[in-house]
């Protein structure tokens, strides 16, 4: 419909942010213990987004879902 426009979806991963900064301290500790093994730093979380947005290898690729910089 629109030449040159591609649409892809992605998941950056579970990124460690300050989203729970307003949560009571006990809940923060519990959430931290439970979620820590799954979290990545912000730098790592941006990699898939940047890859999909600017990679020359993906020019013309559309309708894909990306996680960890790979289409699945």
Encode the chain in three state secondary structure.
Answer: CCCCCCCCEEECCEECCCCCCCCCHHHHHHHHHHHHHHEECHHHHHHHHHHHHHCHHHCCCCCCEEECCEEC
Domain range holding 57? Answer: 9-71
Can you give the pTM of this predicted structure? 0.75
- Rounded Cα–Cα distance for residues 16 and 1 (Å): 38
pLDDT for the residue numbered 68: 92
pLDDT for the residue numbered 62: 94
The verdict on residue 42 lying in a domain is: yes
> Mean pLDDT of successive 10-residue segments in the chain (72 residues)?
86 88 90 89 93 94 94 90
Residue 31's nearest CA partner among 16, 11, 12 is 16
The verdict on residue 23 lying in a domain is: yes
The verdict on residue 4 lying in a domain is: no
The verdict on residue 3 lying in a domain is: no
Number of domains in the chain: 1
pLDDT for the residue numbered 1: 65
pLDDT for the residue numbered 24: 94
């Amino acid at each position: 419909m629109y030449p040159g426009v591609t649409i892809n979806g992605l998941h950056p991963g579970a990124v460690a942010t300050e989203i729970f900064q307003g949560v009571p301290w006990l809940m923060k500790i519990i959430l931290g213990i439970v979620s820590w093994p799954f979290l990545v730093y912000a730098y790592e979380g941006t990699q898939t987004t940047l890859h999909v947005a600017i990679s020359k290898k993906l020019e013309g690729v559309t309708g894909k879902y990306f996680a960890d910089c790979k289409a699945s």
